[in-house]
Chain A
Amino acid sequence: MRSVAPVLTVLAVIVGLWYLAVAPMNIRVALNQAERAGAEIVPEGAVQRRQTSVWRLMAQNTAFVSEGYALERPRLPTPVQVGEELWKTTGKMVMRGRAWSKRSLIYHGWITLQSTLWGFFLGTAVGIIGAVAIVYSRVADMSLMPWAIISQTVPIVALAPMIIVLTSQIGVEGRGLPKAIISAYLCFFPVLVGMVKGLRSPGPSQLDLLKTYNATGLQTFLKLRLPASVPYLFTSLKVGIAAALVGTIVGELPTGAISGLGARILIGDQFGAPLAIWSALFAAAILAGVLVTLLDVAQRVTLRRMGMAT
């Protein structure tokens, strides 16, 4: 709790810098718009102004600096503009009973969340199974582990369009599955590494104790290794779900998807609607925050019930 004040201060500084940056970023657009409306601008004509630095433009046209804060298509929107756009596409649409309209970010967020969760479950399953194989089989340890590391150094975005082409050719309808595969690809690695560490965390004395109890391999796994790996599992699940969300958005970005937060970014880019891009970005950030916080709460509750809370 003692870090609340510093975090708020840093946030305030970031928002302040953001507000300051809006003026120079938007001045050219604002001046062009004002000139078209008939106002007197000091260097006349957009071509002329392109040669002048933004600072000089701001000094010579102080009356129009404030216009940069209320543009319809700003290069850099203000935080308030982004907040209004977010509210307009979420809360306001819910109040009008159109939460599932194609223009609502709740609808697009839900599409992204579904793929993220599918990818998360798939990636977690692959990661846990891989970790068990690596811990119990020397061959798997020697042959899988290097490839798991290499797989993460391959930029997934290069593969993403191919995964979408392949799944559509095989006859899978829709984009849910390819997006889930891409997010699983990013998500499995942290889970794998964390679970290998966790399953190997019981010390020799604990393993020896189970041997003196004449425990079978399965009993050792269920009663010692698996419970010992839970703290490691939760830590990597938190990394994994964030990675899964990144994977889903990467899967939606370059491939002409039409629904999902990544698709909103893509469409906002194509139609020159910067506010749509920014609100989708912030919606993705909020989604990531909520997912990680939920897992954090689950971790605390589980570890307390297991008597492992620190």
Chain B
Amino acid sequence: MMWLAGALVFWACAWAGNVALANSPWSERLGVRLAVPLLFGVTLLVLWEGLVRAFGVSPVILPPPSAVAQTFANSTDILWQDFQQTVLKGALRGYVIGALAAFCTAILIDRSVFLTRGLLPIGNFVAALPIVGIAPILVNWFGFDWQSKAAVVVVMVFFPILVNTVQGLGQSDAMSRDLMRTYAASYPQTLLKLRLPAALPFIFNGLKIATTLALIGAIVAEYFGSPTRGMGFRISTGVGSLSIDLVWAEIAVAAIVGTAFYGVVSWLEARFTFWHPSQRQ
């Protein structure tokens, strides 16, 4: 009862605090802008802890966040090993290969209006498909190690990046292109100095969508066979062997990696497209 009451009181206080902060004259300051969502997240964790303890939920079903944090701290070596296998080897390599392949394909087909018109609808359609389903096929083709995971990631990130890059390359306006013509700029010069910079916001949009897809692909592919390490492997075996707290620790790693990956790409976007209206302060 104590736990439940405490959690509810904390919730009420945090909510009141957030209302006060959001309506205060300082609500535009960076500190407040960070504090409000942080307090919201902490409240969720406290509520989870309180409810689990108050109702005596078995840790086999849903462990409290404190137990997950403890497991996280105790098994950092396992988590680090899985992180290397899934993220560094599978997801990141696949992401880089897929992004480069999509980028080069986009530049190649961009020279032909005919191909662009034909490929855009198909690419858009394929980008909306449940491509994760090819994971078992690719695991069958490329074996159990990271190569098959990278292959799944390549296929998953290819189409969103391709479609966005092709769309971005068409973004420079006729006026600027005419200006380049009057300068007698060659095709590579126009591409490098005008069209690629104009395409950057779109390319980064595709890259950001692809960050989550890369992690999803790498983890799903591990459900279909992997060496005895990796986040997907640990999650699927953990659910079977009832070490649920380790599963939640892996989920926490996945969440942190996903957010950090997205954050890094967003940061790069802010560096490279500082001139774009959406990035101006």
| A, B bound | yes
Contact residues of A with B, CB < 8 Å?
2-3, 5-11, 14, 75, 138-139, 141-147, 150, 152-159, 161-162, 165-166, 169, 239, 242, 245-246, 249-250, 253-254, 261-262, 265-266, 268-269, 274, 277-278, 280-281, 284-285, 288-289, 292
Cα distance A274–B138 when bound, in Å?
11
Which positions 95-132 of chain B face chain A at CB distance < 8 Å?
A: 114-122, 125, 128-130, 132
Cα distance A253–B135 when bound, in Å?
10
What is the distance, in angstroms, from B154's C-beta to the closest C-beta of chain A?
Answer: 16
Q: Report A-chain residues with C-beta under 8 Å of the C-beta of B262.
A: 153
User: Would you call A254 and B61 a contact (CB within 8 A)?
Assistant: no
User: Would you call A143 and B132 a contact (CB within 8 A)?
Assistant: no
User: Would you call B220 and A250 a contact (CB within 8 A)?
Assistant: yes
User: Would you call A6 and B117 a contact (CB within 8 A)?
Assistant: yes
User: Would you call B121 and A155 a contact (CB within 8 A)?
Assistant: no
Q: Report B-chain residues with C-beta under 8 Å of the C-beta of A147.
A: 37, 40-41
Our pick among B39, B129, B132 for the contact of A250 (Cβ within 8 Å) is: B132
Our pick among A10, A75, A155, A281 for the contact of B133 (Cβ within 8 Å) is: A281
User: Would you call A253 and B18 a contact (CB within 8 A)?
Assistant: no
Q: Report A-chain residues with C-beta under 8 Å of the C-beta of B270.
A: none
Query: Can you show 5 pairs from A to B with CB atoms below 8 A apart?
Result: A3-B117, A5-B118, A9-B118, A143-B39, A155-B216
User: Would you call B219 and A155 a contact (CB within 8 A)?
Assistant: yes
For residue B158, CB closer than 8 A to chain A, the reply is no
User: Would you call A7 and B118 a contact (CB within 8 A)?
Assistant: yes
Given the known interface contacts A3-B121, A142-B37, A150-B259, the answer about A246 and B27 at a Cβ–Cβ threshold of 8 Å is no
User: Would you call B121 and A165 a contact (CB within 8 A)?
Assistant: no
User: Would you call B18 and A142 a contact (CB within 8 A)?
Assistant: yes
User: Would you call A158 and B250 a contact (CB within 8 A)?
Assistant: yes
Residue of A nearest to B259 (CB): A153
What is the distance, in angstroms, from B67's C-beta to the closest C-beta of chain A?
Answer: 14
For residue B171, CB closer than 8 A to chain A, the reply is no
Our pick among B36, B39, B128, B211 for the contact of A153 (Cβ within 8 Å) is: B211
For residue B236, CB closer than 8 A to chain A, the reply is yes
Given the known interface contacts A10-B119, A139-B36, A161-B247, the answer about A254 and B236 at a Cβ–Cβ threshold of 8 Å is yes
Cα distance A288–B128 when bound, in Å?
8
Our pick among A150, A254, A284, A288 for the contact of B220 (Cβ within 8 Å) is: A254
User: Would you call B219 and A242 a contact (CB within 8 A)?
Assistant: no
User: Would you call B118 and A3 a contact (CB within 8 A)?
Assistant: yes
Q: Report B-chain residues with C-beta under 8 Å of the C-beta of A261.
A: 133
Cα distance A22–B133 when bound, in Å?
20
Residue of B nearest to A249 (CB): B130
User: Would you call B235 and A266 a contact (CB within 8 A)?
Assistant: no
Q: Report B-chain residues with C-beta under 8 Å of the C-beta of A3.
A: 117-118, 120-121
Residue of B nearest to A285 (CB): B129
What is the distance, in angstroms, from B120's C-beta to the closest C-beta of chain A?
Answer: 8
What is the distance, in angstroms, from B60's C-beta to the closest C-beta of chain A?
Answer: 8
What is the distance, in angstroms, from B213's C-beta to the closest C-beta of chain A?
Answer: 9
What is the distance, in angstroms, from B85's C-beta to the closest C-beta of chain A?
Answer: 14
Cα distance A262–B125 when bound, in Å?
19
Given the known interface contacts A154-B254, A249-B132, the answer about A143 and B36 at a Cβ–Cβ threshold of 8 Å is yes
Cα distance A6–B119 when bound, in Å?
8
Residue of A nearest to B57 (CB): A169
Residue of B nearest to A112 (CB): B130
> A153-B259, A288-B130 given. 19 additional CB < 8 A pairs?
A8-B118, A9-B114, A10-B118, A10-B119, A75-B141, A138-B27, A139-B15, A139-B23, A146-B37, A147-B37, A152-B212, A158-B250, A158-B254, A161-B235, A161-B239, A162-B251, A246-B132, A249-B130, A254-B232
Q: Report A-chain residues with C-beta under 8 Å of the C-beta of B239.
A: 161-162, 165
Our pick among B36, B130, B254 for the contact of A142 (Cβ within 8 Å) is: B36
What is the distance, in angstroms, from B247's C-beta to the closest C-beta of chain A?
Answer: 6
What is the distance, in angstroms, from A168's C-beta to the closest C-beta of chain B?
Answer: 10
Given the known interface contacts A3-B121, A6-B115, A153-B258, the answer about A142 and B27 at a Cβ–Cβ threshold of 8 Å is yes
Cα distance A150–B266 when bound, in Å?
13
Interface centre among B132, B134, B215, B231 (most CB of A within 10 A): B132
Given the known interface contacts A147-B40, A155-B254, A161-B236, the answer about A10 and B122 at a Cβ–Cβ threshold of 8 Å is yes
